[in-house]
Structure 1
């Protein structure tokens, strides 16, 4: 019976102490968001999803062929790719290219939030 009482006291104490380890002090649960850049992250999405309509000389729409043009229009781009697919302003047109994935849209949004580094 004494063995049971000692075990019943030691087990909860061990759990509490393991969560109070000094190695965890000072560490934060905050994880810094990945830095998004135009060249590495945004340009491939734009090139894949907006070609040829927004890429001169074939493109007849607002050009998105470089950093400056995409940066200037990022708010409109994000708004259009977030529309319901049956909205006539949705981009890219369903009959031409697949819709951007949630992850791709998140990259565009995060890039905008990070002040659009090149």
Structure 2
């Protein structure tokens, strides 16, 4: 009789454990890459925003470090998303090529991830 009680307790326990999120793989889980300023954003800024936003040649808002880029990320994203014909589009077409869709998406994702350094 004791064996039956143990089995009766084990079946619901097994059912609960099999439904735990840690016990099974979640098919809806998406591995989101952690975007950082140093590894991902800084190279885009250095390549696309120099020399205009890099002192001493730069005469615009400086983007030479994490704090400055973080402060201006909303306006950076807004400017790189403008139509290329817009005079406020960045970077100016006569100076640097436009950012790719992937680069723009990376900046947006970095902003959404609270801009880790």
Question: Which residue in 2 is equivalent to 1:86?
Answer: 85
Q: What TM-score do you get using the length of structure 2 for normalisation? A: 0.78
CA distance in 1, matches of 2:115, 2:31: 17
**Aligned counterpart, 2:103:** 104
Q: What's the CA shift for 1:32?
A: 2.1
CA displacement, residues 69-104 of structure 1 (integer Å, 9 cap, x when unaligned): 000000000000000000000000001000000000
2:26 corresponding residue in structure 1: 28
Alignment correspondent of 1:49: 48
Counterpart residue number, 1:69:
68
CA shift, 1:26, in A, is 2.3
SS state of the match for residue 76, structure 1?
helix
Q: For residue 28 of structure 1, report the CA deviation from its aligned partner.
A: 1.6
Gaps of 5+ in 2: 1-22
Runs of 4+ in structure 1 off by over 3 angstroms are none
Aligned length: 94
**TM-score, normalised relative to structure 1:** 0.78
> For structure 1, which runs of at least 5 residues remain unmatched after alignment?
1-24
